[in-house]
Amino acid sequence: LGSEKTLLSPYVIMAHYEDSKEELEKLGFDFYLMRLSVGIEDVDKIIKSLDHALNLSN
């Protein structure tokens, strides 16, 4: 994605925005599939941020 920062992006929306729900199912993609591009930040900070976000989503 061209950044030195860690990014979490909705993969299906970014890469398959023209595909129908049926096409996505044929490809085996879940609508909520996310893409994690890891940057150059401190790994412990990345893990802590991801852990925090996942805890908020429950």
Rg over CA atoms, the chain: 14
How many structural domains are present in the chain? 1
27 falls within a domain: yes
The residue range of the domain holding 18 is 7-57
Q: In angstroms, rounded to a whole number, what is the distance separating the alpha carbons of residues 27 and 23?
A: 6
Strand partners of residue 37? 7
2 falls within a domain: no
46 falls within a domain: yes
How wide is the angle at C-alpha 20 spanned by C-alphas 18 and 23, nearest 5°? Answer: 110
51 falls within a domain: yes
Query: Is-above-0.85 flag for pTM?
Result: no
Per-residue pLDDT of the chain (58 residues; tens, 9 = 90+): 567 999 999 888 888 878 888 998 898 888 888 999 999 999 999 999 999 999 998 7
